[in-house]
Structure 1
Amino acid sequence: MTPSGPVLVVTIKDDPTADLVIVELHDRGVPVVRLDSGDFPHALSIAATITSDGLEGSITTPSRTADLSTVRSLYYRRPSGFTFPHLGEQDARFAAAQARYGLGGVMASLPGCLYVNHPHRIGDAEFKPSGLAAAAAVGFRIPPTLVTSEPDAARAFIKRHGPVIYKPLSAPLYRIDGVSCTVEVAEVAADGIDDAVAGTAHLFQHRVDKQADIRVTVIGDQVFPVRIDCDLLDWRTDYGRLTYSVVAPPSGITEALQAYLTHFGLVFGAFDFAVDRQGRWWFLECNPSGQWYWLEPETGLPMLTAMADLLERKTG
C-alpha cells in the first residue's frame, strides 16, 4: 500500500522552487514537512527504532512532526551541511559524522517512501565520468572526453580532439576575496597547459560545434525538452541572453533518458545536450538535483504539476 502521510521536503531555507512545490501540495491537501538537515540537532530531532519488523519513529521540526513509517515521498533538494560551531575541531568532526550516518541513514531508509531522488543515488550520479560512461552505454552520443592529472596527456588530447573545453568535475563553494565564484566552462589550448595540471584531476572535452543547447527535464515518466538559444559557450553565465522554445526529441532520446535514470535509480533528472550544426544531440551531463521551474514561465510546460503529481504519488 502506498503511504498516505506527508511529503518530506529536504532543502535549504531559501529555495524558491521548493516553495512553489510546497504551495502546490498544500493546495491539494497533501501534508508537507519541510526540513534542512543542517538544522540538526538544534532545530531538528529524530527518534527511529529499527527492529525485525522494520523502521518506525518520528522526525520533528519546530512546527511539524512526521511519522517515519507513513512518509509517502521525500523531495531531496539542496540541504545545507551539518555544523557544530560550539564544539572543538575533533568533536565537531565526530558529531558531523554521527549526524550524517545516523540522521542520513534513517532518512535514506524510509519504508515505502518514493525518493525524488534518493540521496545515495544522487551521490552516485554526480560523478561526471560515471554519467558519461552511463550515457554512452544507453546510446547517447558523447563528445570525446579526457579525465587526467597528466599535463602531457592533456596536451595530446587537445591536439587530437581540438577545439577542447575545460570543465570542473564538481563545483564546491569557491570564494575570492569573500565573494562566491563559479568556475566557468572555458576553451583551452595545448600551449595553455602547464605542470599545475598534475595537482589534481581535470576534465577536458571536445567542444561541440553547436547551434543551440537543450535542457531536458524528466519528472517521473514525463519528459520536458526545451531548446535554449544564445551565443554563449556556457548558457548559465547570463540567463538574460537566453531564448527558449519547446522541441520534440529525436528518435531514441526519450528511451535513452529513461534508461539512464534507471541505471542510477533516479526518477528525476535535468539533462543537458548540445545540438550541432547537423542537428545531432550530444549528451553533456545530467544533474540529479538540477533547477527546473524557471523554464515553466518561459515555455508554459506544466512542470510544477508534474512534480507535485509525482510527490503526491497521484495515479490515474
Structure 2
Amino acid sequence: MILILTDQHDVHANILIDQLKQDKATYFRLNLDVNSLEKTHVKFDGTTWHIQTTDGKIDLRAVEKVWNRKTFVQLMLEEQNKGYEFNIWKNEWNKTLLGIYYFLSEKKWLNYYRENHKAENKYLQMAVAKKIGFNLPKFLLSNKKNEILQFASSNNKIVMKLMNQDFYEVEKGKFKGFYVNTISKDDFNDFNENEENPIFLQEYIEKKYEIRYTVVGNEHFVCKIESQKSEIAKTDWRRYDLANTPHHRISPPAVIQDQVNQLMKNLNLNYGALDFIVDEKDQWWFLEINPGGQYLWIEDLTGMPITSSIKKFLLN
C-alpha cells in the first residue's frame, strides 16, 4: 500500500494515481487541504492509526511506502487569517499528522518529512554544496547597512532573494509572490540602521542558460532552460514565459552528476529538484535544491518520464 500525502488540487498526484491504477497498485490518498480534512476522520488507539475519508478508509499498518507531496495542513491564501478557533483546529491537525509520520517512520519515504524540513534550509544546502565542490555565487546575508552597501559596491551586479518563498497580501484580496530581482546600491538608500530583517544578496552570474535537475532515487532528469531568450524569464525563470523559453533534455557533465549524487546522500533525500546556472564559459553554478519541487511542466515539455520514475520507486 502506498500512502500519498497531498491536497485535492495536486495535478502531480492525479497523474501518478492514474499510472498506479493501470498497474493495479494499491494506494490511499490523504488530502491535507482544509476542505478535505474537514471530512476526514482519524483514530489512534495506541496500537495503530485508522483514517477515513470520503474516498475510503485505511489501517496505517498496511502502508509500505509514502509519497510526501505535502506535509502539513495546506491553506488557501484566503484561509491565512481565520481567527483563533481555526488556528487551534489547524494546529491540532498538524500535531496529529506528526504522530502519523512517527508511526510510519520505518517505512520507505519519498522523502521523510524530517529530511525534507532539514534540506529546505538554504544555508545548510550551501554549506554542503560548497564542501562537495560545487561552484557557488558569492553571497551576503546581513541586516547591517554598511555591510550591504559594501557588498553591492564590490560586485558588478547583484540580486536579492527571499529565503522564505511565499505569497503575500499586498492589497485586500490581492496576493503577490516575490521572485529573484536585480538590485543596485542606490536601492538601499532607505534601508534603516536598525530593526530591518536580514536580507540575502547574491552575486549575479551572467547566464548562458539555466538547469532544472530532478532526481528520483538513482535516476537523473536534467532539463536545459533557455531563459535568456525571454525578457520576462531572463532574471528568474519562475516568472514563466514557456512559449518563449525552450526546454530540452540534456546529459550533465559526469562531475556534476557525481556531485549531485553526493549532495542527495549528504541530505538523505530520495527526491530533489535542483537549480543551476550555466555561464558563458560552460561552468555550472549551484543555486539551490528543493526537496519537494514541482516537475510536471518539465515532463510535459521534454517528455522525460519523471512520474513513471516516481511510480517505480514507490512500487519496487
TM-score computed with the length of structure 2 as normaliser: 0.88
Percentage of matched positions with identical amino acids: 24
User: Does residue 1:68 correspond to 2:60, yes or no?
Assistant: yes
- Quick one: which of 101, 117, 127 aligns to 2:121? 127
- Quick one: which of 214, 218, 231 aligns to 2:215? 218
* Structure 1 residues 111 and 80: CA distance shift in structure 2, 3 A: closer
Q: What SS does the aligned partner of 2:215 have? A: strand
Distance 1:28 1:202 in 2: 48
Q: Contact between 2:210 and 2:226, CA under 8 Å: does it hold in 1? A: yes
User: Does residue 1:208 correspond to 2:205, yes or no?
Assistant: yes
The residue type equivalent to 2:128 in the other structure is A
Superposition pairs for residues 161-200 of structure 1, below 5 Å?
A: 161-177=155-171, 178-193=173-188, 194-196=190-192, 198-200=195-197
In the other structure, the counterpart of 1:302 is 305
Aligned length: 301
Q: Contact between 1:36 and 1:80, CA under 8 Å: does it hold in 2? A: no
Alpha-carbon distance, 1:32 to partner: 1.8
Superposition pairs for residues 257-276 of structure 1, below 5 Å?
A: 257-276=260-279
Q: Contact between 1:144 and 1:161, CA under 8 Å: does it hold in 2? A: no
Distance 1:109 1:158 in 2: 49
Deviations 1:83-134 (A, max 9, x none): 8x9xx95454444333222222322431542211222222112221121112
In the other structure, the counterpart of 1:283 is 286
Distance 1:105 1:265 in 2: 21
The residue type equivalent to 2:107 in the other structure is C
In the other structure, the counterpart of 1:3 is none
Q: Contact between 1:48 and 1:57, CA under 8 Å: does it hold in 2? A: yes
Any stretches of 5+ residues in structure 2 without a counterpart? Answer: 229-233
Distance 1:169 1:126 in 2: 10
Q: Which range is displaced more, 125-134 or 164-173? A: 125-134
Q: Which range is displaced more, 66-75 or 197-206? A: 197-206
TM-score computed with the length of structure 1 as normaliser: 0.88
Q: Contact between 2:71 and 2:113, CA under 8 Å: does it hold in 1? A: no
Q: What SS does the aligned partner of 1:9 have? A: strand
Any stretches of 5+ residues in structure 1 without a counterpart? Answer: 1-5
Alpha-carbon distance, 1:227 to partner: 0.6
What is the aligned-residue RMSD (CA, Å)? 2.2
Q: What SS does the aligned partner of 2:178 have? A: coil
